[in-house]
Each structure stands twice: as C-alpha cells, then as structure tokens.
Structure 1
Amino acid sequence: MMKFKRYIKRVFIFLFILATFLYLNNSSLFTKTRNQSPLLLAHRGMAQTFPMEGIMNDTCTAERIYPPEHPYLENTIPSMEAAFQAGADIVELDIKPTKDGQFAVFHDWTLDCRTNADGMVKDYTMAELKKMDIGYGYTADNGKTFPFRGKGIGLMPSLDEVLKHFPEGSFLIHIKSTDEDEGVQLASYLSKLPKNHLEQLTVYGDDSPVSSVKKQLPDLRVMSMASLKSCLLPYIGIGWTGIIPGACRNTQLHIPEKYAPLLWGFPNKFLNRMDSVNTRVILVAGDGGWSEGFDSTQDLKRLPQNYNGGIWTNRIDVIAPLLKKGD
C-alpha cells in the first residue's frame, strides 16, 4: 500500500513538473517582447468587396459587390499603388498564363464574369487581354447599373509590368492553376529576377505548381496546403518542446484564426519561433475559407491582444489606419 502511495505521489509530481514546463515553455507571457506593427497583407490590392455568404467555386463575385466606396478594381496597378499608399506591407495578386507565354494578373478562371469577353485567359495574348474591359461585369444592384463599365479597358497588367512598376514591392503571387507545368513556367520567369527582388516575393496556390516552383527555387518562400500541413501537423505534435520541424523553415504560413489557438505558444511565442527560422505567419479570418479577412473594426476585436503578426485583409483602406496609428 505504501509503495502504491509513493508511486501515485511520483506520478503527480511528474505531471506537475510536465504541466509547469508546458506552461513556461509555451506561454507568451514569458517571451521576447514584440513591438513592431502588424504585417498587413492586402488581398488583391484595393478591391471591391462582396458578401461571402453562399459563395461557390463558380460564383461570379463581380455581380454581387457592395456599393463602391472607392474607384479601384482588383489586381490592377492603380489598386496596388493605392494599397501600398494605404499602408499595405504586402499585396496579393493572382496570375494566369497567356497564349503568348506571359502571365496576366487576373483572378478568375474565365473572362465572362468581369470582362466583356468570353473564354479563358490562356486563349488570348497579353495584347488582346489589354483591349478588354475588366470593369464590365461589376454591379451592386443586380444589373441595374454597372459603375465600372468602360473604366477597365487596358487595366489588366502582366506580372512583368507589375514587378517592374514596383521594383521594391513585396508581393504574394497566387498561381491560379493545378498544372505543375505552369509552376515550372513561373519558376523560370522568377529565376531571372535579381536576388533582392526575389526575396520580396512569395508564391502560393495548389500543391502541384507550388511544388514545381519550390524545386527550381528552393530558397523562395512558398505556401500550399501540402507545405502548410507538413509544417503544422508535426508542430502540433512536438512544438510543446520548443523544437521547430524542418518543414517550417523558410516558408509562409496562412493560419485560420479558428485553429490558431491550437498551436503551441500562439501568439507571441509561436511568432518568435517562426521568425527564428525565417517563416512568415499570416492570420486569416474564420476557418480560412474563401479568402476571409479582417475587414472591419469588429473583426479586429477578435485578434489576440497586441497581436503583431501578419494579417490578411480585403479592406486595407479600413484596417491600416486602425492598426498603424503610431507609425
């Protein structure tokens, strides 16, 4: 009986020591202070926004925008300029290959939702795409009026134009494809950029093209569902020890706010750990579906107190003034 009591006592002591270690090793209360402002990522630059309810893969979001509060169209050079001027640290953009081997900066798989043309981006040369009106399909009142019709002609840029226009700009490039060959094409293009410019870029998207990019450019930050899982699943298993899995190094993590609290040391301890291995953390709203962002004052109230990691937003014009008042 005495032996059993001593055994139980040792178990309790062990569990107490383990619990204390877990707390001290993963509490943000005992970590290096983070004084910098949050890193703000502007999704599609300064864009027209729309309600997220009921969105499917084939939903034409241009047909359901909110009444416009600014004159900018997503994925255009003017919208990117406005986003950087508003306070964006990074601008996200979408790319699609063209018929003549370039990359057009455009979101949709097909052209019929936003433009006055049909078919796919790859069916046209960049010069032909320049002639289209990318503001043609936007409406906030079910087609009664089209406030951007006629104003988007010539505004679809190539990726080359964007990177030359913003030689020091930081961009998150979304390769809108499942084709690994398009990843090879993108990597071939990016490999010709100066090293200092390449360091300002991150590529994300489907596993196959992103894997192709990473193979050719191993030092480039990338993000896909596969790369996210390869980092976070092992981290959930061993992160309590302070060990950082190798897959978490030199990459980018887009973490839904719903799951962020499951990560050991979140927020500050986790952010510092990722900083130490050159990995950028971007917090996205909700469960990560459909590019949900922190877009209002109410959304910001859900952030951890004094959070200063990366933040995904669709309304950089609203969020930046609230979070960068002291800059």
Structure 2
Amino acid sequence: MLRVVRFLIAPTLLVAITLTVLALTSKPAQTPKVLSSLGEQALVIAHRGGRGLWPENSLFAFQRASALGVDMLEMDVRLTSDGQIVVIHDDSVDRTTDGEGLVDSFTLEQLQQLDAGYSWTANGGQSYPYRDQGIVIPQLETVLQAEPAIAKVIELKVADNALVDKLCQSLETYSQRDRVIIASFYESSLQRLRERCPGVATSASPSSIRLLIAMNWLGLSSVLSPSYQVLQIPPRHSGVELASSALFESAKARGLSVQLWTINEQPVMRKLLNLGAQGLITDYPDRALQLLGRPTRISALSE
C-alpha cells in the first residue's frame, strides 16, 4: 500500500505544480478593437447578411442589414479558380443560384454571371421576388469597399493558405484589420492567420471550444490563455447542451465575447441573453433588434 501511495505522490505533485504554474502565468484574452468599439450592448449579428430576409451572402443583403441597424455582418468566403475571394457559403453554386458546379471551378467573371437571388423565397417557393434583379455572388473586396464602417465576421470555409494570405492582404488594403473577426472550423487556417495578420481578432476553432468546455467542466478554465477573442457556439451540439451560465461566465473570465448561432426565435434569443450571451448570430436580425427594443425600420440607403 505504501508503495502505491509513493507511486502516486510524484505524478500528483507534478500535475499540481503544472496547474499552479499555468494558473499563475495564464492571461485572459484582450478585448479587440472591433468589439470595444461596439460598447457593452448585446450584439445583433446578421447571419450571411440576414438570410431569412434577403438572398444570403449578397451585397444587397449586407447593405440592407447595415441599413437596418445591425451591429455586425456575418459572411463566408472561398476562392475562385482565378484566385479571387468571393462571398458564398456552399462549395457549389447549386443551392443559391441558377447555375451548377463547384465555386472553385469558376472564375470570378463566370461566377458573377449567375443569378444569386434566383433561389430565395420567403413562402416555400410560391414566389421568388429577387430573381433577375441583378444580385450576384460578390467579391469580398466589393463588400469591404461598400460597407467599410460596419464590423464583420468573416468565416474561412476551406483550409487554404492562399485564401488566408489573400484575406490578410485585403484587410490591410481596405483598412479592415480592426473591423473584423475571422472564424473557421480549421485550426490550421486560424493559426496561419494569427501569424500573417497579428492583432486581427479570431474566434475559437472547434478544438479550442472542446478544450474550453472540458476545462470548464473540470473547474480548470482559469489556466487557459486563449489565442482567440471570441467564442461562437450553437446552443446545442451532438445532443450536448453547450449554452450555460457557467460556461458563459468562465468564457468571460478569460476575456472572451460569447456569441451564439444560429438563433432565429425570440424566446430562445431571450433565454440566451438572460444566460449571459453577448451576441446573437441570426437569420432574422429584425427579430433580435425588436427583442432588444431597438429600431427595426430600414434607414434610407445611399444610391
């Protein structure tokens, strides 16, 4: 028995010392300028520009959402065959346009001949009000130029070094480094972006989210020094409830802004805000604005 105790003492002490050192040296994330400029209010983030209201990921949607008064625009980016960054969620054009094929098989010019308002409907296909209205898949640069002031969440949809490098270049060219949060399911892309664009805010990758949740469950989240500034999660994933006041409090203690996706119903919005969510990523930003008591009428759009 004594041998067993002695055998366990050394590794136990080592773990205890390691955790103590980590706790003493850990640093919370610093609030990035993109968020500090928005104040303490709960943020309304238009998912794909508000895909429940307008054709998703289109300049039309981003301009309408901005005029509506949202705090941030969320969008997805990929590369064309000629190396241009375009704003589109899927790897193919089939679902949202009148075309067929993979995005990366088209040049920018070819993509922009497609009708990106073709498939949008608000009534289950009874009508398609945005067909033949000149709505195209936008180049990211066009969005950055058209909406320079509003904050943005830009999700990298592929693990592609060329995409990361070109995005960094665009953010610098259009003075958007302090106006964006970069998200991705690919840790490698986020790591490269942090190296190539130091200081640009990022959200947690799935592996970072899992680690935070595990450390929070063990009561050890205070030892983490996040390389990211934003925690963007769904309320549930794979049958596991992620949204809890305990997780939100731990995340905030590590300097993280907690934003939930994709939240479309007001009762759920209210519940998450009461739990401590700091941002709602939603297809219906008008509903979130209404819930928060903010104006929901679109202001005049510049020509």
TM-score (norm 2): 0.71
Residue type of the partner of 1:198?
R
Is 1:199 aligned to 2:203, yes or no? Answer: no
2:190 to 210, 233, 248: 210
Residues 117, 135 of structure 2: 8 Å contact kept: no
1:187 is displaced (CA, Å) by: 2.9
Q: Distance in 2 between matches of 1:326 and 1:110?
A: 36
Residue of structure 2 in register with 1:273 after alignment: 253
TM alignment of 1:1-327, pairs within 5 A: 36-48=40-52, 70=53, 72-139=54-121, 145-151=127-133, 153-194=134-175, 197-207=176-186, 208-223=188-203, 224-239=205-220, 243=222, 245-246=224-225, 248-257=226-235, 258-261=241-244, 264=246, 266-267=247-248, 269-270=249-250, 272-274=252-254, 277=255, 279-284=256-261, 292-293=262-263, 295-303=264-272, 305=274, 307=276, 309-325=278-294
Backbone CA RMSD of aligned residues? 2.9
Q: Distance in 2 between matches of 1:216 and 1:127?
A: 28
**SS where residue 233 of structure 1 aligns?**
helix
1:217 is displaced (CA, Å) by: 1.8
Residues 44, 92 of structure 1: 8 Å contact kept: yes
Change (3 A) 1:132 1:164: same
Q: Distance in 2 between matches of 1:296 and 1:129?
A: 33
Residue type of the partner of 1:47?
R
Residue type of the partner of 2:103?
V
1:306 is displaced (CA, Å) by: 7.5
Residues 43, 92 of structure 1: 8 Å contact kept: yes
Residue type of the partner of 2:99?
A
**SS where residue 85 of structure 1 aligns?**
helix
1:78 is displaced (CA, Å) by: 2.2
Identity rate, percent: 24
Q: Distance in 1 between matches of 2:172 and 2:202?
A: 14
**SS where residue 290 of structure 2 aligns?**
helix
Residues 131, 154 of structure 1: 8 Å contact kept: no
**SS where residue 70 of structure 2 aligns?**
coil
The number of equivalent residue pairs is 251
- Tell me whether 92-101 or 123-132 shows the greater mean CA deviation: 123-132
Deviations 1:247-290 (A, max 9, x none): x25421113332232x64x54x446424xx3x322123xxxxxx
Residues 45, 79 of structure 1: 8 Å contact kept: yes
TM-score (norm 1): 0.67
Q: Distance in 1 between matches of 2:276 and 2:185?
A: 29
- Tell me whether 86-95 or 172-181 shows the greater mean CA deviation: 172-181
Residues 181, 209 of structure 1: 8 Å contact kept: no
Q: Distance in 2 between matches of 1:76 and 1:163?
A: 12
Q: Structure 1 unaligned runs (5+)?
A: 1-34, 49-69, 285-291
**SS where residue 84 of structure 1 aligns?**
helix
**SS where residue 153 of structure 2 aligns?**
strand
Q: Distance in 2 between matches of 1:76 and 1:137?
A: 13
Q: Distance in 2 between matches of 1:106 and 1:176?
A: 9
1:132 is displaced (CA, Å) by: 1.2
| Bigger CA radius of gyration | 1
Residues 181, 212 of structure 1: 8 Å contact kept: no
Residue type of the partner of 2:107?
T
Q: Structure 2 unaligned runs (5+)?
A: 1-38, 236-240, 297-303
Residues 99, 114 of structure 2: 8 Å contact kept: yes
